[in-house]
Structure 1
Amino acid sequence: MKLKKVSVFVLAMFMLLVSGCNFAPIVNTPVDIEPLDTPEPIIMPTETPTIEPTLEPAPEPTPTPKVDPNPDFPYYLYVEKGSFTLTIYEKDENFEYTKIYKQYRIAHGGNKTPNGKFELTDRRERWHHFPKGGDVQFAVAYKGNLYTHSPLYAADQNPRNMWPKYYDGEKGIGTASTGGCLRMVTEAARFIYENCPPGTILEIVNGNPRGTTSPDVPSRKGLRQDPTDITVG
């Protein structure tokens, strides 16, 4: 009886096994498979960087060149009677008469030589004759018959015939001995004659307010001629 039950069980298992081999599982295959939509990539616009403008530096203003207000008058003449000194001023970088160009010893006439500011005139003589006697070189009138001029010579316009007493004698340069003129070495008189046009200012003052000084006249070495006179060598 037990053998029969075992046989039935084995047979049932066999049948079950055979049935499992003949029937495959059913797989539902979809008829239409819709592909998923791939989204278009979103392209973000690239921001253009803002370029700051380059600021050009402001140009330096061109300085206005200084203009000489009196280009025709390069020199200013200044006389201090107290020190018997003529100072010739020239212009500085601001066109003001502050630079000393040269200083010379002079003779004047004391109270006969007026104080003030005078304009040199166009009355200029290579040789000028004084009616009371004597000739001078490079005479330039500054007021009436008053002149700037060289030492005094005999009345023959001879530069080798100078009167010594009016050069370095008792009435020489450095004394109050003129009739109102300004007597000086020939070099100084010639400079005014050639370089100081009509209209040049000559200022004459009493005393010695600016403390100007001047060297003694050069030695004439016993000769009757002015050693500063280049016309006689």
Structure 2
Amino acid sequence: ALWDERGKALMEQLAADEFYQSEGLKYSAKDGCPYMIAVNRAASTVTVLALDDEGNYTKPYMAMVCSGGADTPLGFFATPVNYDWRLLAGPSYGQYATRIWDSYLFHTVPYYSQHKDDIEYDQFNQLGTQASLGCIRLLVCDVKWIYDNCPIGTRVVIYDNADDPGPMGKPGTIYTDPTDESKRGWDPTDPDSANPWDAAFRSGTAIRSEAAWNEWNDAQNDGRWNGSINPTDLQGWSTDSSVEGTRG
């Protein structure tokens, strides 16, 4: 009940803000979109909101730790496209990317190459801090959840509140030892069967509601989660000809 109260208070507060009014913020139900995503840039936290009994996106569903950056735009958006792999600045690469707006995406911590065992492990250990060039970085299991469950057109609001990470709080992080050559190249939450990390890490650190845990377990058991895993081997990356450049 406390999460629900806090979720409603957050959305009412944002909707009353002149900036978000000018952005056209809406949090009423949108056909085909079960969730809305609220990103607290200052607190490095993503909160997924489900519909409440009144048909508004105020019900906290799950919270994820993330990294944005000083260039992450504040505002109200709707996702236009997603990618299994995406070329990022550097060049570097991200898995399970969903574009938020312009050159800003949800994606994994960047990889040096299009191989799942080649993550930028020093960057991985900065998750939960301001570390990106503007995109929103997430654990593999969290960004894949968005890729799988948040259809194109899902609304996204990005705001700042350094004092309050969000209705469910801020999840923790996972540390990867930069001297451990056998594991450091992998995101511990990557569901790929080749991942050397213990399977106990696969659900990540997200704070989940009971409904979110039920959905997570169902997806593991009925094949949905494994059915959309990127192949282990090098994959061609998707391009979006309408937008040049992507910020990692």
Give TM class, smaller chain.
0.5 to 0.7
More helix by share: 2
TM-score (norm 1): 0.63
Does 2:44 correspond to 1:90? no
Shift of 1:177: 2.0
Cα deviation, 1:17-75, whole Å, max 9, x if unaligned, reads: xxxxxxxxxxxxxxxxxxxxxxxxxxxxxxxxxxxxxxxxxxxxxxxxxxx95341101
Does 2:186 correspond to 1:225? yes
The whole-number CA distance in structure 2 between the counterparts of 1:101 and 1:180 is 25
TM-score (norm 2): 0.60
The answer to whether the 8 Å contact 2:65/2:138 transfers is yes
Aligned to 2:64: 104
Cα deviation, 1:140-160, whole Å, max 9, x if unaligned, reads: 1111111100111122x2111
Cα deviation, 1:165-191, whole Å, max 9, x if unaligned, reads: 1111xxx21222211100111111111
Which deviates more, 126-135 or 136-145?
126-135
Aligned to 2:3: none
Change (3 A) 1:97 1:225: same
What is the Cα-based RMSD across aligned positions, in Å? 1.9
The answer to whether the 8 Å contact 1:173/1:183 transfers is yes
Aligned to 2:150: 196
Equivalences for residues 116-131 of structure 1 within 5 A: 116-122=75-81, 124-131=82-89
Does 2:102 correspond to 1:144? yes
Gapped runs of 5+ residues in structure 1?
A: 1-67
The answer to whether the 8 Å contact 1:219/1:227 transfers is no
The whole-number CA distance in structure 2 between the counterparts of 1:126 and 1:134 is 14
User: Which of 216, 227, 230 is residue 172 of structure 2 equivalent to?
Assistant: 216
Q: Match of 1:79, SS?
A: strand
Change (3 A) 1:216 1:209: closer
Name the structure, 1 or 2, with higher relative contact order (CA <8 Å, separation 6+). 2
Aligned to 2:233: none
The whole-number CA distance in structure 2 between the counterparts of 1:202 and 1:70 is 12
Shift of 1:113: 0.7
Aligned to 2:135: 181
Aligned to 1:153: 111
Aligned to 1:51: none
Question: What amino acid maps onto 1:106 in structure 2?
Answer: C
Aligned to 1:26: none
Does 2:120 correspond to 1:163? yes
Shift of 1:95: 2.2
Change (3 A) 1:95 1:114: same
Shift of 1:209: 6.8
Shift of 1:97: 1.6
Shift of 1:109: 1.2
Rg comparison, structure with higher value: 1
The answer to whether the 8 Å contact 2:41/2:69 transfers is no
Q: Match of 1:94, SS?
A: coil
The whole-number CA distance in structure 2 between the counterparts of 1:90 and 1:231 is 28
Equivalences for residues 2-17 of structure 1 within 5 A: none
Equivalences for residues 28-67 of structure 1 within 5 A: none
